[in-house]
Amino acid sequence: MADTALHLVGQVIPEVAVRQWVCSLPWRLRVLCGYDKRLCADVLEAFVVELSRSYKRRAKKSLGLPTTARALTGHNLPLVRSGITATHPAVDYRGRRQGVVDMACFPGSSGSPVFLYDLVVYFDKPRGIMKTGSRQALLGVLFAAPHHTREGTIVIRDIPTVATKRVPVPITSSMIHLGYYVKASEVVRLAEHVRNRSVSFT
């Protein structure tokens, strides 16, 4: 995934105002962020601050601004995408601790957290009653997105506006807007395994 992201950023995606940034943390800090929401917020704040400073310095240099104070960088925060659960969160998909969501997932989004958000009315399973309000829970972490694979060739098709000109059209694979996620219980198991290891991470 890292090689694909590097290729997209360096060779495919042009220089535009919107960029994908990946914040990579040491293993020990990753585990702590999973348990300490205050620490996770502090790490996110530090990342956003440094990213804003980098944007301002680059804007000052490329646009010839007198100071970085006139460089506007936007919010630099994650974008939240919405979808629905394609499988019941309480039931394992194909006998594995996995689930499926119905939303736009694409290469490079692996590792994104998948949250459950119920608004107005939801079922409180431990108490066996319907409740009003809202409920939030981490369902798991996205790791794959299925897509159609097609073996095709370059075909020549007429351009409706130019009757005499024909151009090659590539036939490619397409995503089907489903995503597989590993359930939060497995993420917790992994975090506990890493935390209990005797070796130190650097």
The last residue of one of the domains, among 49, 79, 109, is 79
List helix spans (H) across 1-158.
Answer: 2-7, 27-35, 37-63
Provide the number of structural domains found in the chain: 2
Is there a single domain that holds both residue 99 and residue 61? Answer: no
State the helix-helix crossing angle for 184-196 and 27-35, rounded to 10 degrees.
130
Tokens for 113? Answer: 């957290």
Average pLDDT estimate for 180-198: 84
Q: Is 116 helix (H, G, I), strand (E, B) or coil?
A: strand
The last residue of one of the domains, among 79, 106, 121, is 79
Is there a single domain that holds both residue 101 and residue 173? Answer: yes
pTM, to two decimals: 0.52
Buried b (16+ CB within 10 A) or exposed e, 22-35: eeeeeeeeebbbbe
**Tens digits of residue pLDDT in 151-172:** 555 555 555 555 556 666 555 6
Measure the CA–CA gap between 36 and 41, rounded to whole angstroms. Answer: 9
